[in-house]
């Protein structure tokens, strides 16, 4: 195979003579693969939400039969009343689905795939067939994870963090097949992620269009690129740990049990060495999307573009040396607690920098409060709460009290829902027209936003207060404890808010599905944005660009004095713009 | 004229190398982290419970594995020679040296399977000593831990996954060899040879580290 | 309730609570600045006909200021916390003369070994009581914490005490109760299906009542 290292652009706009299967099922087109991940992960998100509501039912109405619980088997919920072992499994699987099968694939699998080639001006990923494999490995991993619910003994029940020895020996949980399937599924999914990261990194490094220098890349691409490096380096650690735990369960190795020199804390170190970079994987792309969307809707350049990149690099770097803050109370050497406290406090700084830069972008802007902007601003407002609650945990003596309480649960959900998920609502709405050629309905979008924002805060804000009251995590029946009884009303309140929150998401689902068929047809650039993807039709053809795009400037030239319009696309050439010098890689630089 | 073995043409300058080579380097980065998790765990467990680890040479067969190590290094040499051959347009040399690399690689795996067999036969399995076995009888004597579970766990996992990586390498190498015999690699485009070579050298390097840490120390 | 911590009844509870309130005030200020700022900007800079955005790429002075202030703040917080952490969690930090106990967690109960009348653990007069920790008021105690099966976590909210109990490890936990009464112990690390009911009680006696109680237990 000789010449072109690039998947070719289809100059005349003909679709290939590919069968339906090759075009839409086993497709190597990054756009189709991105949409496949979108559909799969929205299902994952829905499953995660259902699991949450189910466990919340037990917390809000302990011992009462859940409506519709009759369909659950006796082993999980006799008479519709949840059993403690099923509750532990729900808690575990809610976290598992949300982290691995919803947020991560949505941020990285969907938008990494969809946006990277388009926004850098490439016809596709560097390795389109490998990209196809990424999806077709993720799908069986998902099916395998779902199958755990149907195993004897139920699904994994040791928390999404799977601490050993609880997770290592079926004797302690009563769960055998479920925990094994959990580990296998995670390991397989990890392969999908690693292949994807390899693809993304190679693509961003090697396939940028002429003129698309590093410092003209949109922050969404910077974020996806840095996230891919984190994925590349962190996921294999989890794979290694999962394999060791799997062997402990199946062939009698002793990595994590205390017999024969095994170390329970080793699991925690390995898991969190992966797990902390993982949480930055779950937030960095969201930060990138929000930067693009806030800039676009303020009609202003991003404030402090270089600082934003520096902050992301700092987060990426510091993210490797804070893992012990999940282990302050674990029994690890307390001196380590002090060192991890220092690094953890420091990592607050780059997030603060980004928050102020987002505000700086809005300052003196010309703000359009459309659906993407509403959700993007909500990201900033809610993520900052999540970040600030983190400071309490970083201060180690305070962590003694709030570790493993609902204060942590509040923190997690403010950064993951208030942060990542609002950013995803923004991103999906923003790029939907490019993906599907239709606009999502703005009125439904706004109603969805406001109701979600309201019910989300009503659900998760009180969890801070539960934590302050000492309410532990993963507790099937808080009424066992006298000191928790005054807090029970709050539990019920949270449950009702959560039910309303989940119900509200039907609006988003409806909007998503209806707009696909009936949405207002989208022009090439409905948001009047500068990114390279908006120079293509909505949706773009296979191969994306009939001719190689040339980039003349950065992505955030809104309200530029150089032109009448309040936006100035990256690929628009103005008088006096120089052609990129290094367009031909022929040895002379 | 665009060369397949140069970075992609008509692009902003990224790296100095073509996509497949960059992709392999990136992928090897993830493999480094994977083996770091396994080897790092071994080191941590070893420092935490030194009494659970046998003295070098007692449980494991150093002479046989040393020869095996030498073989694997030889296969890296043949790999280098295969690459040099195709760079010189020497198709015969390419095919010969690729076959040699496959053969030696397969031999390495074979020897390792033999080694595992021996260990199991002597009573050393992933979960530790086999009750009433030859090795179990040595338990408690100098250089032989009372119980050896964490040593056996980490030994089998590390070397097993390395062996798995070699096996995958042999499979891919066989595919590359087959393509070489069909004349698919030329002096101007032999990306597949270079890329599998990178993987192969990596796997060799991991083994040298493993052999040193696990067998000799 | 709300953001006010429940009352604490150990000597270091007050120090922990103080740090909490410091963080609450600092983060509260940051919270107000950011949220108010966002709301104000949304209103003040919303699109109106003829409005143009101010074209700027940023301001280095601003960057320096909003990097330096958070950095200094977190450094100060760190400096304020390190000492207390070492004082509570340091392995040698239990005050001299602390009464020794052994606390062993297992699915789903806490077994407390008392030093008995001679005040020494590991002697013949030790005795074990399930799910009850009796201590004298105003006297430091140190618990050697362990676990039999999986990781548990020994949590006494009223004393601001929490420590994971790990199989294969013995971890010292000390505190000094400041008021007599009964306080709940909870398990704070998922440990199986009975995790939610792994409850025990601390009873804080006066010094005399404690001696009496120990004597009564030893007599059995």
Tens digit of each residue's pLDDT (9 = 90 or more) over A338-378: 999 999 999 999 999 999 999 999 999 999 999 999 999 99
B46 pLDDT band, cuts 50/70/90, is very high
Helix or strand (DSSP H, E) at C111: strand C109-114
- Residue A426 counted as domain residue: yes
A588 touches chain B (CB under 8 A): no
Nearest CA to CA, how far is B3 from chain A (Å)?
6
Residue A444 and residue A367: Cα distance in Å, rounded? 20
Q: Is A264 on the interface with C (CB under 8 A)?
A: yes
Q: Is the pLDDT of residue A583 over 70?
A: no
CATH class name, domain B26-216: mainly alpha
The domain that contains A237 carries what CATH number? 1.20.210.10
- Report, as an integer, the average pLDDT of B117-129: 93
Q: Please give, rounded to a whole number of angstroms, the shortest distance from the CA of C115 to a CA of chain A.
A: 23
pLDDT band at B54 (very low <50, low <70, confident <90, very high): confident
Q: Does C131 touch chain A (CB under 8 A)?
A: no
Q: What is the pLDDT of residue A588?
A: 38
C contact residues 147-206, partner A, Cβ 8 Å cutoff? 149-151, 153, 155, 157-158, 160-169, 171, 184, 186-197, 199
The helix (H) or strand (E) run that includes residue B125 is: strand B124-125
The pTM of this model reads 0.95
pLDDT of A9 > 90? The answer is no
d(CA A391, nearest CA chain C) in Å:
7
Q: If you average pLDDT over residues A69-94, what whole number do you get?
A: 92
- Report which listed range, A16-20, A71-75, A245-249, is most confident: A245-249
For residue C63, the chain A residues in CB contact (below 8 A) are 304, 307, 353, 357
Kindly state whether residue A501 falls inside one of the protein's structural domains. Answer: yes
Q: How many CB atoms lie under 10 A from the CB of residue B89?
A: 12
The per-residue pLDDT for C141 is: 97
Give the residue from C35, C164, C172, C181 with the most A CB atoms within 10 Å of its CB, the best one to mutate. Answer: C164
How many other C-beta atoms are found inside a 10 Å radius of the C-beta of residue A259? 14
Percent of chain A with pLDDT over 70: 96
Domain-embedded: residue A492: yes
Residues of A in contact with B19 (CB under 8 A): 5, 126-127, 202, 206-207
C10 SS3 class:
strand
Quote ipTM for the complex. 0.97
For residue B176 the two structure tokens come to 């590359």
Task: Report helix, strand and coil shares of chain A as percent, to nearest 5.
Answer: 65, 0, 30
> Touching C: which chains, 3+ CB pairs < 8 A?
A
Residue B154 with chain A: CB contacts under 8 Å:
255
pLDDT of residue A586: 46
Lowest mean pLDDT among A106-110, A467-471, B145-149, C138-142: B145-149
Domain encompassing residue A248: 26-535
Residues of chain A above pLDDT 90, percent: 89
User: Regarding predicted confidence, which is higher, C51 or B177?
Assistant: B177
In tens, the pLDDT along A265-303 reads 999 999 999 999 999 999 999 999 999 999 999 999 999
Arithmetic mean of pLDDT over chain A: 94
Q: Rounded to an integer, what distance in angstroms lies between the CA atom of residue C127 and that of residue C114?
A: 5
Of B152, B116, B122, nearest to B134 by C-alpha is B122
C23: helix, strand or coil: helix
Q: What is the mean predicted confidence (pLDDT) over B11-30?
A: 95
pLDDT of amino acid A198:
98
SS3 per-residue string spanning chain C: CCCCCCCCCECCHHHHHHHHHHHHHHHHHHHHHHHHHHHHHHHHCECCCCCCCCCCCCCHHHHHHHHHHHHHHHHHHHHHHHHHHHHHHCCCCCCCCCEEEEEEEECCEEEEEECCCCCCCCCCCCEEEECEEEEECCCEEEEEEEECCCCEEEEEHHHCEEEEECECCCEEEEEEECCCEEEEEEECCCCCCCHHHCCEEEEEECHHHHHHHHHHHHHC
In a domain, A476, yes or no: yes
The CA distances from residue A109 to A42, A106, A565, C164, in Å, are: 12, 6, 34, 37
What is the percent of chain C where pLDDT is above 70?
99
**What does the pLDDT read at residue C147?**
97
Range with lowest mean pLDDT among A14-18, B125-129, C140-144, C208-212: A14-18
Q: Specify the residue for token string 């406090």.
A: A345
Residue A70 has pLDDT above 90, yes or no: no
pLDDT greater than 70 at residue B6: yes
- For chain C, domains (ranges, CATH) are 13-89 (1.10.287.90), 99-219 (2.60.40.420)
Residues B183-200 have a mean pLDDT of: 96
pLDDT confidence of residue A20: 87
Give the Å distances, CA to CA, from C197 to A56, A529, B214. 18, 56, 45
The tally of domains found in chain A comes to 1
The per-residue pLDDT for B1 is 47
Q: Please indicate whether, in this complex, the C-beta atoms of B45 and A262 are within 8 angstroms of each other.
A: yes
A-C contacts at Cβ under 8 angstroms? 292
Region A441-465 average pLDDT: 98
Q: How far C219 CA sits from the closest chain A CA (Å)?
A: 32
Is a pLDDT exceeding 50 seen at residue A585?
A: no
Residue C219: pLDDT band by 50, 70, 90 thresholds?
confident
Range of weakest confidence among B22-26, B124-128, C171-175: B124-128
Position A137 in a domain: yes
Most A CBs within 10 Å: which of C4, C11, C70, as the mutation test of the A interface?
Answer: C70
Of A208, A253, A263, the CB nearest to B12: A208
- Work out the mean pLDDT of chain C and round it to a whole number: 96
Residue A218 lies in a domain: yes
Mean pLDDT over residues C65-85, rounded?
96
């Amino acid at each position: 195979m000789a010449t072109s290292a690039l998947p070719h652009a289809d100059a005349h706009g003909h679709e290939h003579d590919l069968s339906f299967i090759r075009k839409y099922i086993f497709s190597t087109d990054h756009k189709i693969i991105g949409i496949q991940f979108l559909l799969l992960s929205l299902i994952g998100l829905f499953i995660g939400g259902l699991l949450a509501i189910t466990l919340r039912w037990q917390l809000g109405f302990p011992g009462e039969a859940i409506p519709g619980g009759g369909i659950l088997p006796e082993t999980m919920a006799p008479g519709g009343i949840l059993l403690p072992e099923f509750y532990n499994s729900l808690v575990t699987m809610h976290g598992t689905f949300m982290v691995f099968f919803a947020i991560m694939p949505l941020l990285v699998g969907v938008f990494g795939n969809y946006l990277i080639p388009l926004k850098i001006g490439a016809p596709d990923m560097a390795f389109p067939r490998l990209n196809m494999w990424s999806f077709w490995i993720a799908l069986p991993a998902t099916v395998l994870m779902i199958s755990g619910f149907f195993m004897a003994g139920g699904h994994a029940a040791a928390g999404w963090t799977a601490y050993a020895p609880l997770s290592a020996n079926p004797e302690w949980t009563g769960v055998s097949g479920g925990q094994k399937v959990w580990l296998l599924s995670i390991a397989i999914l990890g392969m999908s992620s690693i292949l994807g990261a390899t693809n993304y990194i190679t693509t961003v490094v090697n396939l940028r269009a002429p003129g698309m220098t590093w410092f003209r890349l949109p922050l969404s691409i910077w974020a996806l690129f840095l996230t891919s490096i984190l994925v590349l380096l962190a996921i294999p650690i989890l794979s290694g740990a999962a394999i060791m735990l799997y062997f402990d369960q199946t062939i009698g190795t002793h990595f994590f049990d205390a017999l024969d020199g095994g170390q329970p804390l080793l699991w925690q170190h390995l898991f969190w060495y992966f797990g902390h970079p993982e949480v930055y994987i779950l937030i960095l792309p969201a930060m990138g999307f929000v930067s693009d969307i806030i800039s676009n809707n303020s009609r202003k350049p991003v404030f402090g573009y270089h600082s934003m990149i520096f902050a992301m690099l700092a987060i990426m770097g510091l993210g490797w040396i804070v893992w012990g803050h999940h282990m302050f109370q674990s029994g690890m050497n307390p001196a380590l607690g002090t060192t991890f406290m220092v690094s953890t406090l420091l990592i607050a700084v780059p997030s603060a920098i980004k928050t102020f830069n987002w505000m700086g972008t809005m300052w003196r802007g010309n703000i359009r409060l459309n659906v993407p902007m509403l959700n993007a601003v909500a990201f900033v407002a809610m993520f900052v709460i999540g970040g600030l609650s983190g400071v309490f945990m970083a201060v180690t003596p305070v962590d003694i009290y709030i570790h493993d309480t609902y204060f942590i649960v509040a923190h997690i959900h403010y950064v993951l829902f208030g942060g990542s998920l609002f950013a995803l609502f923004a991103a999906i709405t923003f790029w939907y027209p490019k993906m599907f050629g239709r606009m999502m309905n703005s009125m439904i979008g706004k109603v969805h936003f406001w109701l979600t924002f309201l019910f989300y805060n009503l659900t998760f804000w009180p969890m801070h207060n539960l934590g302050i009251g000492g309410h532990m995590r993963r507790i099937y029946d808080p009424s066992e404890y006298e000191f928790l009884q005054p807090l029970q009303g709050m539990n019920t309140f949270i449950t009702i808010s959560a039910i309303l929150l989940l119900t509200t998401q039907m609006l988003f689902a409806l909007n998503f599905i209806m707009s696909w068929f009936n949405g207002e047809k989208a022009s090439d650039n409905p948001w009047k944005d500068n990114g390279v993807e908006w120079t293509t039709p909505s949706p773009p053809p296979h191969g994306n660009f009939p001719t190689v795009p040339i980039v003349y400037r950065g992505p955030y030239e809104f309200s530029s004095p150089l032109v009448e319009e309040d936006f100035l696309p990256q690929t628009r050439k103005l008088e006096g713009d120089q052609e990129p010098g290094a367009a031909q890689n022929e040895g002379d630089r | 004229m665009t060369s397949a073995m140069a970075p992609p043409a008509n692009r902003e300058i990224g790296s100095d190398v073509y996509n497949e080579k960059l992709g392999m380097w990136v992928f090897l980065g993830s493999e480094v982290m994977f083996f770091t998790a396994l080897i790092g765990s071994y080191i941590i467990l070893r420092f935490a419970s030194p009494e659970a680890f046998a003295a070098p040479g007692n449980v494991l067969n150093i002479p046989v594995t040393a020869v095996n190590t030498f073989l694997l290094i030889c296969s890296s040499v043949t790999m280098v020679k295969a690459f040099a051959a195709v760079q010189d347009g020497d198709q015969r040399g390419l095919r010969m040296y690729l076959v040699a690399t496959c053969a030696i690689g397969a031999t390495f795996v074979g020897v390792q399977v033999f080694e595992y067999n021996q260990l199991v036969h002597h009573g050393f399995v992933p979960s530790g000593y086999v009750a009433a076995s030859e090795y179990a009888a040595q338990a408690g004597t100098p250089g032989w831990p009372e119980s050896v579970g964490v040593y056996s766990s980490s030994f089998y996992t590390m070397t097993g996954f390395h062996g798995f990586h070699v096996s995958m390498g042999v499979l891919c190498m066989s595919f590359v060899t087959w393509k070489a015999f069909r004349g698919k690699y030329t002096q101007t485009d032999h990306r597949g040879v270079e890329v599998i070579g990178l993987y192969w050298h990596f796997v060799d390097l991991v083994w040298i580290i493993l052999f040193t840490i696990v067998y000799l120390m | 309730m709300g953001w006010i911590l429940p009352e604490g009844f150990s000597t270091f509870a007050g120090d922990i609570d103080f740090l909490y309130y410091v963080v609450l005030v600092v983060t509260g200020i940051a919270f107000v600045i950011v949220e108010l700022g966002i709301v104000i900007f949304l209103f003040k800079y919303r699109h109106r006909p003829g409005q143009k955005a101010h074209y700027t790429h940023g301001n280095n002075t601003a960057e320096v200021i909003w990097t330096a202030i958070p950095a200094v703040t977190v450094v100060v917080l760190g400096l304020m916390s390190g000492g207390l952490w070492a004082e509570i969690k340091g392995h040698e930090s239990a005050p001299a003369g602390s009464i020794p106990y052994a606390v062993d967690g297992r699915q789903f109960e806490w077994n407390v070994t008392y030093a008995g009348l001679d005040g020494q653990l590991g002697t013949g007069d030790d005795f074990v009581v399930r799910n009850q920790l009796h201590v004298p008021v105003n006297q430091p105690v140190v618990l050697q914490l362990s676990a039999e099966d999986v990781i548990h976590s020994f949590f006494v909210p009223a004393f601001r005490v929490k420590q994971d109990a790990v199989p294969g490890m013995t971890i010292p936990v000390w505190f000094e109760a400041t008021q007599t009464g009964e306080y709940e112990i909870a398990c704070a690390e998922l440990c199986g299906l009975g995790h939610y009911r792994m409850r025990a009680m601390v009873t804080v006696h006066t010094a005399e009542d404690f001696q009496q109680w120990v004597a009564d237990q030893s007599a059995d």
